[in-house]
């Protein structure tokens, strides 16, 4: 059993949710990049759900930012979400890097799916 899974949830239809749980760093960043590639390949909106993530480092931020850039280039909606209570190992790096408005990060998966759907198909 994988204690730090990264899985795709496609139940929202036109928005794929990449669900990231547990601790993630340079060891799991390649897996995250693969899952993000798969999600981007679906052609619709993408939500990265960090609700159950307990730790993410700059390798993870690098993967999230690369996917964001590719989503913007392809006109795909892209939103990162967290839950009501965010682990210090996730909140702190988002806060001090100022990436909350950039990625962007919003609270709640349903809200994120709605936001990703609304910006999908709006290439810059």
Partner 1 sequence: MTTPAPEVLLTMPARPEGVGVVRQALAGMADALDFDPTVLADMKMAVTEACTNVVVHAYDEDAGMLEVEMLADENGLTIVVRDHGAGIQPRPARSEPPALGLGLPLIAALSDAFELKGSAGHGTEVRMTFAYSRSADPATQNPVTGNVGADGRWDPDADSPA
Q: What Å distances lie between residue 67 and 19, 33, 75, 79, 101, CA to CA?
A: 15, 8, 12, 10, 16
Interface mask (CB under 8 A) for partner 1, residues 32-51, using x and -?
-x------------------
Q: Does 102 bind partner 1 (CB under 8 A)?
A: yes
27 binds partner 1 (CB under 8 A): yes
83 contacts partner 1 (rule: CB under 8 A): no
Distances (CA, A) of 106 to 28, 112, 114, 117: 23, 6, 11, 14
Residue 75 sits in the site that holds partner 1 (CB under 8 A): no
Report the site for partner 1 in 103-122 (rule: CB under 8 A).
none
Which C-beta is closer to partner 1: that of 74 or that of 102? Answer: 102
Residue whose structure tokens are 């682990």: 87
Task: Annotate 66-102 with b (16+ C-beta within 10 A) or e (fewer).
Answer: ebbeebeeeebbbbbbbeeebbeebeebbeeeebeee
- Pick the piece of the chain touching partner 1 (CB under 8 A) from 19-27, 39-47, 78-86, 112-120: 19-27
Footprint on this chain of partner 1 (rule: CB under 8 A)? 23, 25-27, 33, 55, 57-59, 61-62, 65-66, 69, 87-89, 92-93, 95-98, 102
């Amino acid at each position: 059993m994988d204690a730090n899974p990264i899985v795709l949830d496609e139940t929202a239809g036109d928005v794929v949710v990449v669900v990231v749980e547990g601790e993630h760093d340079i060891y799991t960043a390649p897996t995250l990049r693969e899952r993000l590639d798969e999600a981007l390949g679906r052609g619709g909106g993408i939500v990265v759900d960090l609700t159950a993530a307990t730790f993410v480092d700059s390798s993870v931020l690098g993967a999230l930012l690369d996917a964001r850039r590719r989503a913007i280039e392809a006109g795909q909606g892209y939103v990162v979400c967290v839950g009501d209570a965010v682990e210090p190992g996730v909140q702190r790096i988002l806060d001090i890097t100022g990436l909350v408005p950039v990625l962007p990060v919003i609270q709640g998966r349903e809200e994120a799916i709605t936001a990703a759907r609304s910006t999908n198909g709006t290439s810059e």
